[in-house]
């Protein structure tokens, strides 16, 4: 008998015993392709045609079926089909009687492997292709009836892409299961090995990321290790591959999808080759036993036990409200959780590998080593043994820095550090990083004015900056650091620097070309919406805006000056941003000039003036300040008024003994949180105050370096009209604070 002849005869014989799998595969493919198609487009296309007439359907809907619905449904069949087929194909290896029979047959191992492997593949592929053809025919008929017969090749193209992705996904899981079967002697061990090999790396990655975010104050990730972790976890990679195609970008850790498919294919083949090598060298006597791969069992025990210990630690820490870093009792609970989980994982793995409960403590010293390793890792995190938070490279080693803060950008897209322009001023960078690290460990630079403000109820908020530092040796690292308002001298040079402005505020040609709609908000609360028909108008405004950005960055970035209006540009197409917000202030001369030149000066004209103003009313809603923390002995009313307007007495004017006593804290009680109001009618005072006021226009993004605007100011003019206005924090003259106190006692 020739080997080819034997191969086909063996395939036929093998398939006879797998009819149930073929039937299941056929049923699964049938339900997830032709039946799903009919459910979607129903009644043989009549419903679709009526949808077409209504205008609710176009031919792309038919195409997207292959990318979305079919991809998801057939993807499930491919995934679970690969698991079942992978387990079943070489089931004979796990039973002594079967392995005796199959390995005594006059067929080489390579031939037997080929037969079982190809049959497993065909059991999924043939029913799939059969049902796919039916679905394509149905789609073709529908498209022809819709008058889109010329688009039928696109259907074939989409179907081919989906098939390619499903095939790679199937191979990933199929080869993973084969490898797990080859390394083990029974089903339980196979499943354990498959789970660990299929998802172990990404679990370790996730746990590591979790630990870092939990215990490192400066931890920030751009998920740069995620693709490698995904490729190292084939079971997860298969899911990512399918969902990424079905949902365009969802769970896609790399931007290049075709590259992702190719890498997954390579991983699948590596697993396949490993499975074959494992089978070629597999001892028949392994059947029915756990596994005899000592290196594998040793590694898995250590790996699972260490991860389990870490999980036990963090679980206990969460139960103890995450205070393990500061509480001895909590640390003890965490140690208990880590030791218990690590021992359990280790013992259970040993029981599984040896199929014997008495094996729980079989490798006592290795178990102790694993427990110690997991504890060491946990303490390494909690005590930051690696110096992660404290890490500051030498000044000379730093090449460039990229920063980003969610509070500072003129668009609504999520920025990533990779897209930011780097700064290279070593002095600025070093000072910025040094202050960030200091802020992690306390408020070393807190000025006295800030201490006074805190006594009156100021919360001393921080702004988080995400950074990527690139060293001269090419290595980069990511961190996030908090900065206080008083850290302006180290923050603003970078925040208002050219690099940050260019990345987050500049209106580029690419953004201009995507602009299709312009919303205009004037200072008197009027709103217009205009389609951008002439991009030249927008271009001129953008040029003025970009020039202001270069010359007056604090006006554009921090919103300094009186706000006069807002322009919102709607963007079409794919990209991080779908909207740009341009806040217009009186400190942006070039933008205002461009607006005026284009006949839109009304946009930036304030609706009120001193001559026509009858009164200005300032109000405070005291309930907003309930339970605010203030220094003990302070007057709650004064605290509310001062913290509302952000006006605090100078440090020098506050008596030394008061400052020294301000070590105990209290909160403003509900009955103390009253409403306050003053009305200014004096002409001189109106003329003094009015230049400070402007309409309330909120910036899309607000950071702590953007001066807050205090609302609830009403301007009444001589016609009886009322205008809502605001005043920048900290700018209300002291005499009005005192008037508030006098009039409301």
Partner 1 sequence: MIEVTDLQKSFEEIKAIDHITARIEEGHVFGLVGTNGAGKSTFLRLLCGVLRADAGQVLVDGEPVYNRPAVKGKLFYISDDMFFFKTGTPRDMAKLYATYYPAFDRERFARLLGRFGLDMGRKVNTFSKGMKKQLAVICGICAGTKYLLCDETFDGLDPVMRQAVKALFARDLDDMKLSLHKVQCVVKNQAALEHMKKNLEVVTVDQRGMLYTFTVRGTREQVVEYMELLNPVFYELLPLSLEEIFISETEVNGYDIKSLIL
Is residue 204 a contact partner of residue 214, using CB atoms and an 8 Å limit? no
- DSSP state letters, 406-467: TT--SBSSPP-GGGSPPB--HHHHHHHHHHHHHHHT--TT--HHHHHHHHTT----EEEEEE
Shortest Cβ 96–partner 1 spacing (Å): 7
Residue placing its CB nearer to partner 1 in the complex, 103 or 539 = 103
Shortest Cβ 228–partner 1 spacing (Å): 37
Alpha-helical runs (H) found in 456-607: 488-495, 498-504, 509-514, 535-551, 553-558, 589-597
Residue placing its CB nearer to partner 1 in the complex, 102 or 379 = 102
Q: How far apart are CA 491 and CA 408, in angstroms?
A: 12
Residue placing its CB nearer to partner 1 in the complex, 9 or 475 = 9
Shortest Cβ 15–partner 1 spacing (Å): 12
For partner 1, the binding residues (CB under 8 A) are 1, 6, 9-10, 12-13, 16-17, 92, 95-101, 103-109, 111, 283-285, 292
Residue placing its CB nearer to partner 1 in the complex, 10 or 162 = 10
Residue placing its CB nearer to partner 1 in the complex, 105 or 650 = 105
Q: Is 470 strand, coil or helix?
A: strand
Is residue 662 a contact partner of residue 455, using CB atoms and an 8 Å limit? yes
Nearest 5 degrees, angle CA 501-CA 507-CA 508? 110
Residue placing its CB nearer to partner 1 in the complex, 108 or 605 = 108
Shortest Cβ 279–partner 1 spacing (Å): 12
Residue placing its CB nearer to partner 1 in the complex, 31 or 98 = 98
Q: How far apart are CA 686 and CA 212, in angstroms?
A: 55
Q: For residue 38, give the nearest of 29, 50, 48 by alpha carbon.
A: 48
Length of the chain: 745
Shortest Cβ 100–partner 1 spacing (Å): 4
Burial code (b: 16+ CB inside 10 Å, e: under 16) for 304-341 equals bbbbbbbbbbbebbeebeeebbeeeebbebbbebbbbb
- From the CB of residue 591, how many other CB atoms can be counted at a distance below 10 Å? 29
Nearest 5 degrees, angle CA 49-CA 52-CA 54? 115
Shortest Cβ 185–partner 1 spacing (Å): 12
Q: For residue 253, give the nearest of 229, 269, 221 by alpha carbon.
A: 229
Shortest Cβ 33–partner 1 spacing (Å): 30
Shortest Cβ 91–partner 1 spacing (Å): 11
Q: In this structure, what is the dihedral angle of CA atoms 374, 378, 379, 381, given to the nearest 10 degrees?
A: 140
Shortest Cβ 317–partner 1 spacing (Å): 42
Q: How far apart are CA 546 and CA 618, in angstroms?
A: 36
Q: What is the largest CA-CA distance in the chain?
A: 114
Shortest Cβ 64–partner 1 spacing (Å): 44
Strands (E), 34-175: none
Residue placing its CB nearer to partner 1 in the complex, 98 or 471 = 98
Residue placing its CB nearer to partner 1 in the complex, 96 or 659 = 96
Shortest Cβ 99–partner 1 spacing (Å): 7
Q: How far apart are CA 616 and CA 715, in angstroms?
A: 5
Residue placing its CB nearer to partner 1 in the complex, 354 or 439 = 354
- Paired strand residues for 568: 519, 581
Q: How far apart are CA 724 and CA 523, in angstroms?
A: 10
Nearest 5 degrees, angle CA 252-CA 254-CA 255? 95
Residue placing its CB nearer to partner 1 in the complex, 285 or 611 = 285
Residue placing its CB nearer to partner 1 in the complex, 84 or 228 = 84
Residue placing its CB nearer to partner 1 in the complex, 122 or 651 = 122
Shortest Cβ 107–partner 1 spacing (Å): 5
Shortest Cβ 345–partner 1 spacing (Å): 25
Burial code (b: 16+ CB inside 10 Å, e: under 16) for 672-697 equals bbeebebebeeeeebeebbeebbbbb
Shortest Cβ 97–partner 1 spacing (Å): 4
Residue placing its CB nearer to partner 1 in the complex, 103 or 217 = 103
Tokens of 21: 């799998």
Torsions phi, psi for 473 (to 5 deg):
-80, 5
585's enclosing H/E stretch is: strand 579-585
């Amino acid at each position: 008998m020739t080997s080819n002849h034997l191969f086909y005869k063996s395939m036929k014989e093998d398939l006879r015993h797998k009819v149930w799998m073929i039937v299941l595969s056929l049923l699964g493919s049938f339900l997830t392709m032709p039946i799903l198609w009919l459910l979607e487009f129903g009644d043989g296309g009549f419903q679709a045609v009526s949808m077409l007439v209504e205008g609710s359907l176009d031919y792309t809907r038919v195409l997207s079926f292959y990318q979305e619905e079919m991809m998801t449904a057939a993807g499930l069949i491919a995934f679970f089909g690969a698991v079942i087929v992978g387990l079943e194909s070489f089931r004979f290896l796990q039973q002594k009687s079967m392995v005796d029979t199959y390995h005594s047959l006059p067929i080489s191992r390579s031939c037997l492997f080929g037969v079982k492997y190809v049959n497993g593949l065909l059991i999924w592929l043939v029913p799939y292709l059969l049902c796919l053809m039916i679905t394509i025919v149905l789609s073709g008929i529908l498209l022809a009836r819709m008058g889109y017969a010329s688009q039928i090749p696109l259907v074939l193209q989409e179907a081919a892409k989906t098939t390619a992705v499903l095939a790679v996904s199937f191979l990933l899981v199929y080869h993973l299961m084969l490898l797990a079967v080859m390394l083990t002697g029974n089903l339980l061990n196979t499943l354990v090995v498959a789970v660990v090999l299929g998802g172990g790396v990404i679990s370790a990655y996730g746990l590591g990321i979790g630990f870092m975010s939990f215990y490192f104050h400066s931890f920030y990730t751009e998920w740069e290790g995620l693709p490698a972790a995904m490729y190292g976890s084939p079971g997860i990679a298969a899911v990512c591959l399918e969902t990424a195609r079905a949902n365009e970008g969802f769970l896609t850790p790399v931007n290049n999808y075709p590259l992702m498919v190719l890498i997954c294919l390579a991983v699948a083949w590596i697993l396949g080759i490993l499975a074959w090598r494992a089978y070629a060298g597999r001892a028949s006597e392994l059947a029915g036993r756990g596994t005899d791969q000592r290196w594998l069992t040793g590694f898995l025990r250590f790996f699972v036990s260490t991860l389990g210990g870490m999980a036990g630690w963090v679980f206990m820490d969460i139960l103890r409200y995450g205070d393990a870093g500061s509480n001895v009792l909590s640390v003890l609970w965490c140690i208990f959780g880590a030791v218990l989980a690590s021992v359990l994982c280790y013992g259970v793995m040993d029981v599984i590998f040896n199929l014997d409960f008495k094996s729980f403590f079989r490798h006592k010293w290795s178990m102790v080593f694993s427990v110690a390793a997991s504890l060491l890792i946990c303490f390494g995190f909690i005590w930051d043994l690696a110096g992660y938070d404290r890490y500051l490279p030498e000044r000379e080693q730093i090449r460039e820095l990229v920063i980003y803060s969610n509070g500072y950008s003129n668009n609504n897209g999520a920025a990533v550090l990779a897209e930011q322009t780097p700064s290279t001023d070593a002095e600025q960078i070093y000072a910025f990083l040094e202050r960030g690290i200091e802020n992690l460990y306390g408020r070393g630079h807190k000025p006295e004015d800030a201490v006074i403000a805190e006594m009156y109820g100021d919360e001393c908020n921080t702004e988080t900056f995400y950074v990527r530092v690139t060293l001269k040796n090419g290595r980069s690292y990511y961190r996030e650091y908090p900065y206080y308002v008083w850290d302006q001298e180290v923050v603003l040079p970078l925040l208002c620097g050219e690099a940050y402005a260019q990345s987050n505020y500049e209106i580029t040609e690419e953004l201009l070309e995507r602009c299709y709609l312009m919303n205009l908000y004037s200072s008197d609360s009027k709103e217009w919406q205009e389609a951008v028909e002439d991009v030249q108008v927008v271009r001129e405004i953008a040029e003025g805006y970009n020039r202001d950005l270069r010359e007056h960055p604090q006006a554009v970035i921090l919103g300094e000056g009186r706000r006069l209006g807002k322009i919102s540009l709607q963007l079409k197409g794919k990209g991080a941003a779908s909207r740009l917000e341009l806040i217009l202030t009186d400190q942006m001369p070039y933008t205002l000039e461009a607006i005026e030149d284009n006949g839109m000066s009304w946009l930036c004209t304030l609706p009120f003036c001193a001559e026509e103003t009858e009164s200005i009313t300032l109000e405070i809603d005291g309930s907003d300040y309930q339970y605010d923390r203030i220094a003990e002995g302070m007057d709650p009313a004064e605290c509310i008024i001062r913290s509302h307007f952000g006006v605090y007495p100078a440090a020098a004017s506050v008596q030394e003994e008061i400052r020294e006593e301000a070590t105990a804290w209290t909160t403003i009680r509900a009955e103390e949180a009253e409403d306050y109001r003053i009305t200014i009618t004096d002409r001189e005072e109106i003329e003094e105050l009015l230049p400070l006021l402007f309409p309330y226009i909120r910036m899309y993004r607000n950071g702590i370096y953007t001066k807050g605007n205090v609302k609830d100011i009403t301007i009444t003019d001589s016609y009886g009209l009322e205008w809502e206005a605001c005043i920048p924090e900290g700018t209300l003259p002291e005499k009005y604070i005192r008037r508030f106190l006098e009039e409301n006692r």
